[in-house]
Amino acid sequence: QVHLVESGGGLVKPGGSLRLSCAASGFTFSDHYMSWIRQAPGKGLEWLSDITGSGTSISYAESVKGRFTMSRDNAKNSLHLQMNSLRVEDTAVYFCARASIAVSGMFDSWGQGTLVTVSS
């Protein structure tokens, strides 16, 4: 059974940094694209970034490009999102999501999310 558990959220001041993690289990982690998606309070879903199974190719949304860095450790079945230069508008629940083996963008399993609050 696929299981994704995010951690690392919390309260941070504008301009600060935070590192999110996602622990994966129940599937062959290195086979799958993985993504980060966020949801601001009371708002819709926003895709942020994805990474190939090997970790060699990463894509970002313009809203986070240059500030956020996605990575994965296939030996530890873990996914990470390093978030720098955080802004108030980055406040959201951050989800990690598994995409299918062949198709990035088809999110078939999600974690429960971790809340990031950016406030002074």
Applying CB under 8 A, the residues found at the interface with other proteins are: 35, 44-47, 50, 59, 61-62, 95, 103-113
CA angle (94 as vertex; 51, 54 as ends), nearest 5: 15
Cβ at position 75, least distance to other proteins in Å: 26
Least distance from other proteins to the Cβ atom of residue 91, Å: 17
Kindly calculate the radius of gyration of the chain based on its CA atoms and give it in whole angstroms.
13
- Alpha-carbon distance of 51 to 16, in angstroms, equals 24
- Residue 78 or residue 104: which is nearer to other proteins going by CB? 104
CB-wise, 16 or 115, nearer to other proteins? 115
Residue 90, classified by CB atoms within 10 Å of its CB into exposed (0-12), middle (13-18) or buried (19+), is buried
CB of 24 to other proteins, least distance (A): 14
* Contact of 64 with 6, CB cutoff 8 Å: no
Choose between 50 and 80: whose C-beta lies nearer to other proteins: 50
